Chains A and B, each alone.
Chain A
Amino acid sequence: MRRLVRLTVFTALIALLGLLTWGVFRTPANLASPLAGRPAADFTLETFDGKTVGLRELRGHPVVLNFFASWCLACRDEALVLEEGWQRYGPRGAVFIGVAVSDKREDSLAFIRRYGKTYLLGPDADGSIALDYGLFGVPETVFIDPDGRILEKVIGPVTRELVAKRLEPYL
């Protein structure tokens, strides 16, 4: 009987320790986004070169919505990947949008020039776009299907393979 009690207590303690450890190591990167499968929140973006683009107008096109900042090191890792993706899939109907978050205008522009970005880019003036897409930090990328539904939200830099995987089925 004593042995059974000790075994039960020991098992309960191990289970508790496991639960606490799981909680400590839980990060947004390994959590499913609640946005996946839901309609993408509409927004209007005024680009750095003066254009105005609304997400709603882009129905019928797969959209790659990328959040970045000039001070973000990981954003530099994916900068060329996104521009290459735009060059490859833009002519086939994909739309790439870059949203600068918490960044000075001149720094964002310098970053854009440095990496030769040519797709739609503009600042999140009031932070509402970042909040609507549940931003944890930068870089984050949201893949939106032609029906305006969120396919996936990626925390961290994207890869060429992921861009291809998300866009090819719709082009």
Chain B
Amino acid sequence: MPVAAPVLLPTALLALLLTAAIPAWLPATRPAPVTTDLLQERRIDLTAEQEARAQGLEGRLKCPVCRTQSVRESTSFMALEMRRKIRQLVAAGRTDDEVLAYFAARYGDYILLEPRRQGFGLAAYALPFLAVLAGLAFLALAVRRRIAPPDALPEDRSARLDDASRARVEEELKRYTV
């Protein structure tokens, strides 16, 4: 039995919204950083914890040259300089927020891969959930509409039958009533 359009359309819409929201839910998977001579030459020695923090910060900043990549992934000259600067700041005892603020002060929030959790940036976090909720609400309404019992015929509808038709209906009902 084919699925009726009132269910198919909201289901498709919900699937589309869920698919669009998936990237926001996936854990960030980043390839291993590319080591270059430049980075090695001016290497700043960090503790294991500091190095982990630095690598995490690299993944939270956008490469200003290759803008579809993080600083961690990119091999551009600016990404290398930023990785060195991140290590410098971490070694100097700056917090993660201070390091991110350092770059945001120079590049604007554009350089942050994760929008700020304030102001307009909140929309990036709220929209996927709102989209899913809207899709679920839409689907629930559509399903409820589909399975709702038909309304009883109003009295005046049966009054539309003429006498001959009404008599015939009653005769048929008598014949088939158990």
Residues on A lying within 8 angstroms of B by beta carbon are 5, 9, 12, 16, 19, 26-28, 31-35, 101-102, 126-128, 130-137
Asked if B108 lies at the interface with its beta carbon under 8 angstroms from chain A, I say yes
User: In the complex, which of the residues B78, B105, B110, B141 contacts A130, with contact meaning CB atoms closer than 8 Å?
Assistant: B78
Beyond the given pairs A126-B84, A127-B80, A131-B78, 6 more chain A to chain B contacts, judged by CB atoms under 8 angstroms and listed by A's residue number, are A28-B110, A31-B110, A34-B105, A131-B106, A134-B107, A134-B108
A133 CA to B84 CA in the complex, in Å? 16
A to B CB contacts below 8 Å, 27 in the list: A12-B134, A16-B127, A16-B131, A19-B123, A31-B108, A32-B108, A34-B106, A34-B107, A34-B108, A35-B106, A101-B77, A102-B77, A102-B78, A126-B84, A127-B78, A127-B81, A127-B84, A128-B85, A130-B78, A131-B81, A134-B106, A134-B107, A136-B64, A136-B78, A136-B107, A137-B64, A137-B78
Q: Name which of B108, B123, B141 has the most chain A CB atoms within 10 A of its CB.
A: B108
Please give me the residue from chain A that is nearest to B78 by CB atom: A135
- Chain B residues with Cβ below 8 Å from A31 are 108, 110
Please give me the residue from chain A that is nearest to B84 by CB atom: A127
A135 CA to B141 CA in the complex, in Å? 52
The secondary structure that dominates the A interface is: loop
Asked if B82 lies at the interface with its beta carbon under 8 angstroms from chain A, I say yes
A105 CA to B114 CA in the complex, in Å? 37
**Distance of B101 from chain A, by nearest CB (Å):** 11
Residues on B lying within 8 angstroms of A by beta carbon are 42, 64-65, 67, 77-78, 80-82, 84-85, 104-108, 110, 123, 127, 131, 134, 138, 141
- Chain A residues with Cβ below 8 Å from B77 are 101-102, 127
Please give me the residue from chain A that is nearest to B104 by CB atom: A34
